[in-house]
Amino acid sequence: MISKLNHVAIAVPDLDAAITLYRDVLGADVSKKADLPDHGVTVAFVNLDNTKIELLYPLGESSPIISYLTKNASGGIHHLCYEVEDILKSRDQLLEKGMRILGSNEPKEGAHGKPVLFLHPKDFCGTLIELEQV
């Protein structure tokens, strides 16, 4: 079902500082910031040869990142994103196996304009997992 690691997402308390850190200290290629109102986040991507790092910052009062940053004031790893070929087929297989999907079970448009779903961390070793159809 899952294939490549698409990205690792890091929640950050200061997005500009995180961009500067990755671009100027670590010498990485970092994208422009983009607001994703459907997900309550502003993101910037660090483009590495073999994967990406998604820098996540809260957007709006009900952002899902706010509670994470309240518990982890200096930021931290928030989720892993794995690629799948067919997100609806993957969803149905996971539901059949008793796995829980966050929200409505319907894919939303993700940061790359592709459909995504989030899986319940309690079903996956305490890790929030995003699936992205590529």
Active centre residues (catalytic):
130
CB count within 10 Å of CB 89 equals 12
CB of 65 to Co ion, least distance (A): 11
Distance between CA atoms of residues 9 and 41, nearest Å? 11
Question: Residue 11: CB partners within 8 Å, gap ≥ 6?
Answer: 56, 57, 65, 68, 69, 72, 75, 76, 78
Instruction: Kindly state the smallest distance separating residue 104's Cβ from Co ion, in Å.
Output: 18
Q: Which is nearer to Co ion, 54 or 94 (CB)?
A: 54
Rounded least distance, CB 115 to Co ion, Å: 13
Q: Smaller CB distance to Co ion: residue 54 or 83?
A: 54
Phi, psi for residue 58 in degrees, rounded to 5: -60, 140
Nearer to Co ion, 52 or 94 (CB): 52
Residues of this chain that bind Co ion (CB under 5 A): 9, 54, 81, 130
